[in-house]
Structure 1
């Protein structure tokens, strides 16, 4: 066994909407080659074999994160949590519940959410789930994705559970803002993201309240785990050992 595995932080990779652990395959391989122990998660509600997946909530997802962090840190190893896109919501809940559980959080084209927020509070209660829309209707950049990437995305995407879409999160622990944080900005330059945060943009406002924040620019589209996996892994590893 490579002894560096025991000295480097363990890394937990959390995918965004419609995605499972499989989305991180290339990045996970690169990180393991760098000596990290890596866990890629499929959040509750995104497992196609779960018969109750459309009932899963953000609380269910945060519980799964707690379990994964506990397992990864059982031997005393530091844990770095990596959140892509919509995974910023359950990660924010976890950090509110236990801000000392991890050594750093890395947001990939994502960020923390604010108290009282929901991804879509108006998501119709009679609608069980949200399927991946046509690509031309996505409010996110597909830059850098190949036809093969797009085909796999379409074939393997799992609908988002409605309860997780609607759930309003309640965050009360100010210490969550002290957790060392890195934002890897892909779709927009980090300078633009911080301008949005300081202007009170609904999706970015909480970022302005972080007290230990590092910004990294990795220009590409919203899914860098496919468009620039080696570069993303390098950025995650560098942040993890900082």
Structure 2
């Protein structure tokens, strides 16, 4: 399966390097997307970055893809979302969302996975994160 890995703000695509290796080893085709304005010395808006993500998805010409983001926007309300909880238990994430994260309250299908790895699981637990990503492709 194609897997598009998107870094969060201030991070470039290299943050996913170890995860890419492990996910590829599980038979998938991962791509760590380099967003404009993230470490490339250019100025870019959020719209420029969204356009880059959409172009990466569109380039797959209708093939199935799993998109993994380290941040997100409101365009995902109708697609299944898995909240990976690296620093907090899923119960806390559910409570926070129910009590004040309106954009995630709008998601039609939201699941939680506990990884207990610290803030950036792609750095602190890349193999476990790759396993979770592989599991998500099978669900």
TM-score of the alignment, normalized to the shorter chain, above 0.5 = yes
Shift of 1:210: 1.4
The structure 2 residue matched to 1:35, chosen from 21, 27, 39, is 27
Aligned to 2:67: 81
What's the CA shift for 1:47?
A: 3.2
In 2, the alpha carbon distance for the partners of 1:82 and 1:179 equals 12
Q: Which has the higher contact order (CA 8 A, sep 6+)?
A: 2
The answer on 1:183 being equivalent to 2:83 is yes
Q: How many residues align?
A: 139
The two structures have a TM-score, normalised by structure 1, of 0.55
| Whole-angstrom distance in 2 between the partners of 1:241 and 1:60 | 31
How far apart are residue 209 of structure 1 and its match? 2.1
Question: Structure 2: which 5+ runs fail to align?
Answer: none
Give distance in 2, aligned partners of 1:19 and 1:177: 25
**Structure number, greater radius of gyration:** 1
Q: How much is the aligned-residue C-alpha RMSD, in angstroms?
A: 1.4
- The 8 Å contact of residues 10 and 39 in structure 2, kept in 1 or not, is answered as no
8 Å CA contact 2:36–2:49 kept in 1: the answer is yes
TM norm structure 2: 0.93
